[in-house]
Structure 1
Amino acid sequence: MLNNDAIVALATPSGAGAIAIIRISGQEAISIGNSVFKSIKNKDLRNQKTHTLHLGHIMDDTKTLDEVLVSIFKGPNSYTGENTIEISCHGSTYIQQQIIQLLLRKGCRMADAGEFTLRAFLNGKLDLSQAEAVADLISSDNEASHQIAMQQMRGGFSNEIAKLREELLNFASLIELELDFAEEDVEFADRTQFNELLNRIEFVLKRLIDSFAVGNVIKNGIPVAIVGEPNVGKSTLLNALLNEERAIVSDIAGTTRDTIEDELTIGGIGFRFIDTAGIRETQDVVESIGIKKTFEKIEQAQVVLYLSPLTPKGGTLDSENVKQVQLEIEKIKNQFPLKPLIIIGNKKDLYSNQQILNLQSQIPNILLISAKQNIGIDELKDQLLSFVNTGALRNNETIVTNTRHYDSLLKALDEISKVKYGIETNLSSDLMAIDIKEALYHFGMITGQVTNDELLGNIFANFCIGK
């Protein structure tokens, strides 16, 4: 699968800008670059040192296309491990296309999605989990997802897996040696030490598997559904959280008839807020569809904000309204028992101190806010953040965010459990060796020590062109 032909692509986002970078990689990359580059000091790029910059012009025969800066990176000391040059030109889309078309005529071909990073992997510059982290780093849109991607790209996750795999491989070799001397009934692999290793591997695997629950929401954002009856202030709350007029607000019940979504980063964690249609009995066909979507969004959400319709009137709260809210809360809890639920009372600025105490005694854990006056919004954000285990981030622990890695870890853990059972039941070494090989296979699938063209094609097809 490894090609060393010269590939070219735009390494910066498409469209006009101040500058653009065109990347070429391959055995002939520097020679091809030299054939279209005229240095202001008559330098030959082929004779220049690696990691140097050169000013000049890109020439199409006698026609000058642009004044550029060319960076030279000679393999293996480059991102791809191959000879690489990067042409920094002016950001006109016309100039970009003219230079790329010229390079194609000179012998380059257009790079496939992720082909530069694929070559880095195939040339041993990155392992597979690090290569996947490159894509995660590019798509990271908050501090937490950026931190996880950086740690994985630096090899934090793959180093942990590689160490476990190496120790297991050493014992596998001893087990295989026992099989070679089976007739002499000798034991090369100390079963006590082997069991201790398996316990340690099992502990690490379980920790990594458990981290996926946190890692997945950090990577993809935490969906939060804002639900309640019509006209209780759900859209006003969404606007207050986002600090902008995102949702239409009016005194007419049922104004929001479809779900409205927007994202907000709180403490480095991405939250996706979903303003839903008000829940009530209605004959309006369009509103009914909106209410149906509300329950679908609650099903998809990981946190539910229930905005109660309670409003103080005079000196007391309507007891019937309180009972209705209590029933509605129980209904949501029963229907979605595993979802964290935050109960919110709006219009706190209208409550007296005594009313607040009465309400808190009747509906424990209710959070009183005023969406219009921006009272209690920071407290709500803190409560949302408390649902995410950010301790692992602070401690710089390895967090799994990739579904493929998660699946391989589960399969590896299953095989390790089989090996442990084999030791406990004095299973023959040849049968244990099969399970050990399977565990090693799944470890290798994570780091890329075991790959196939289909797997690599699926992974790198999701990359952007030019990376």
Structure 2
Amino acid sequence: MIPSLLSKDTIVALATASGHGAIAIIRLSGPQAISIVQGVFKGKNLQQQPSHTLHFGTIRDEERILDEVVVSLFKAPASYTKEDVVEVSCHGSPYITEQLLKLFLQKGARLAEPGEFTKRAFLNGQFDLAQAEAVADLIASDSALTHQVAMKQMRGGFSQEIKALRAQLIHFASMIELELDFSEEDVEFADRTALRKLISQLQRLITDLLQSFEMGNVLKNGVPTVIAGKPNAGKSTLLNALLNEEKAIVSEIPGTTRDVIEDEALLGGIRFRFIDTAGLRETLDTVEAIGVARTKEQLKKAALVLYLFDLSSTTPTQLQEELAALEMPQVPYLLLANKKDLATPAQIREFSGMENVVFLSAGTKEGMEDLKHTLLEQVHDNEAMTGDRTIVTNLRHYQSLQQTSDTLAEVQQGLDNGLTGDWLAADIRRCLFFLGQITGEITTDDLLDNIFTKFCIGK
């Protein structure tokens, strides 16, 4: 709990989406939450009811009935914010919700700021800052994997790893601080060999977390999947087939696509960001040349490349020459043998022995299910996506981990150079500071405002 940041106000907000709906929920939290609702509620005396109970009645402004409601009662500390919380479920009319909110404001509540309910939960010790941020990620999750990662972090998986790292450093920091108290006696309470070993272990763990950030970005923003190939290979047709809509213009004229076209699709709970690109060829057309240059830039940023070629007019030798000319970085790729419906059995056999080849016809959608299955296999083959590994998805966490890693390197260098305990202790305290920023053991008002103002009002 951080008393200086806590507010004794009772806050109120609409907790469900605005607009018409069957049900709307208005949430209040704070010391007067129960008494404010009780003052306008016709039904049981809420202040005499146990926590975690539901009560039917009416909300009245003087004698005028505004709505029939169900009141959910959560008494401190057994609530989301660890304060008294009341949730009023009413009919989902914007007029009704507006009237109820105005009534609660008149009775002494104030409108909640964005994320203030979760901010109070953090300040009251319900969970740490990393878990609080995971609440926002959970609300924003739009695939099975982003949901899985956010749920794990909200339940403390990432926090436990950070706290374990911090606890080990605190032990050594306290031993070195103890040495300073006995500096005249020239004693060592902190085993320098054990400290070196600990730093190496911590660096390995932090490096693993830092490397997971790239995967975390993929999970949050979608797997960037570039569709590349020669003009008229069928790239735009494939994009339309993957999206099940006419997103890109399809024409028999080579070079129709001159810019990057991008859209997203969910496949098996994973969000893919498909990027259709200009056909790869030498051209004197200025605009098309710009498109080809952008294609090459997209290939460098891709997590997966789908290289499309016309099965009916391409030989294995020509395909190898095309791939060699790409100068593609070390990015996983699939070879898509398109226009299977126009190819002869002999042409199909020529490519049957090659690895990573998927046969399809984007125009007729033959083989599209095989392609989707292969795409999912490519993603699931990555251990970070399927294992129990902690994945960093938050830029703030990444920056703090990077600062911790840099400072640990300074501690290691200090040990190598025989620095005295006071200098080592200072560097270790900096490590503790950076790790503490992740979980909220070290915070500032500005940091909290920056985090919680990004939440929706009512959460």
Superposed pair shares fold, TM > 0.5: yes
Matched, 1:15 2:19: yes
Q: Deviations over 1:372-403 (max 9, x none)?
A: 33333344334434256542343322111111
Contact 1:258 1:276 (8 Å CA) reproduced: yes
Do the aligned partners of 2:311 and 2:343 also contact (CA within 8 Å) in 1? no
Residue deviations 1:290-346 (CA, integer Å, cap 9, x gap): 65654554454332322224524xxxx579xx64x54443332x2x42433333221
Overall identity of the aligned pairs, in %? 54
1:330 matched residue in structure 2 = 324
Report deviation, 1:155. Answer: 0.3
Match of 2:405 in 1: 413
Moved more, 237-246 or 438-447: 237-246
Matches within 5 A, 1:50-449: 50-256=51-257, 258-279=259-280, 294-295=295-296, 297-312=298-313, 323=318, 326-332=320-326, 334=327, 336-359=328-351, 365-385=356-376, 386-387=378-379, 390-449=382-441
For residue 231 of structure 1, give the secondary structure of its aligned residue in structure 2. coil
Alignment coverage as a number of residue pairs: 454
- Describe the superposition over 1:9-65 as per-residue Cα deviations: whole angstroms up to 9, x where unpaired: 1111111111011111111111111112111xxx22122211111101111111111
| In structure 2, C-alpha distance between the alignment counterparts of 1:293 and 1:417, rounded to whole Å | 39
Q: Residue 30 in 1 paired to residue 34 in 2?
A: yes
Residue pair 2:311, 2:348 contacting (<8 A) in 1 also: no
Q: Given that residues 312 and 344 in structure 2 are in contact (C-alpha distance below 8 angstroms), is that contact kept between their aligned partners in structure 1?
A: no
Report the residue type matching 2:69 in the other structure. Answer: V
The code of the aligned residue for 1:228 comes to: G
SS at match of 1:189: coil
Q: 1:66 to 1:286 in 2, by over 3 A?
A: farther
CA distance in 2, matches of 1:126, 1:226: 43
Letter in 2 for 1:401: T
- What amino acid does structure 1 have at the position aligned with 2:337? G
Look up the equivalent residue of 1:396 and give its one-letter code.
D
How big is the shift at 1:231?
A: 3.2
Contact preservation (8 Å) 1:228, 1:309: no
Secondary structure at 1:375's aligned position in 2? Answer: coil
Return the alpha-carbon distance in structure 2 between the equivalents of residues 436 and 238 of structure 1.
52
Instruction: State the distance in 2 between where 1:78 and 1:173 align.
Output: 36
* Counterpart residue type for residue 330 of structure 1: A
Q: C-alpha offsets along residues 349-376 of structure 1, whole Å, 9 cap, x if unaligned?
A: 3323322233568x87544321133333
- Specify whether residues 286 and 110 from structure 1 end up closer, same or farther in structure 2 by C-alpha distance, changes over 3 A only: farther
- Report deviation, 1:212: 1.6
Shift of 1:249: 3.5
Map of 1:6 onto structure 2: 10
1:174 deviates by 0.9
Distance 1:293 1:106, change over 3 A: farther
Q: Deviations over 1:174-222 (max 9, x none)?
A: 1001011100111112223333322322222122122222222112211
Local SS of the residue matching 1:345: strand
Structure 1 gaps of 5+ residues are none
Structure 2 residues not aligned, in runs of 5+: none
TM-score (norm 2): 0.91
* Farther-moved stretch of structure 1 (272-281 vs 143-152): 272-281
When residues 432 and 272 of structure 1 are mapped into structure 2, their CA distance, relative to the original with a 3 A threshold, is same
Task: With the length of structure 1 as denominator, give the TM-score of the two structures.
Answer: 0.89
- RMSD over equivalenced CA pairs, Å: 2.5
The alignment partner of 1:337 has SS state of: coil
Distance 1:59 1:428 in 2: 71
- Following superposition, the deviation at residue 275 of structure 1 comes to 2.4
Q: 2:448 aligned with 1:456, yes or no?
A: yes
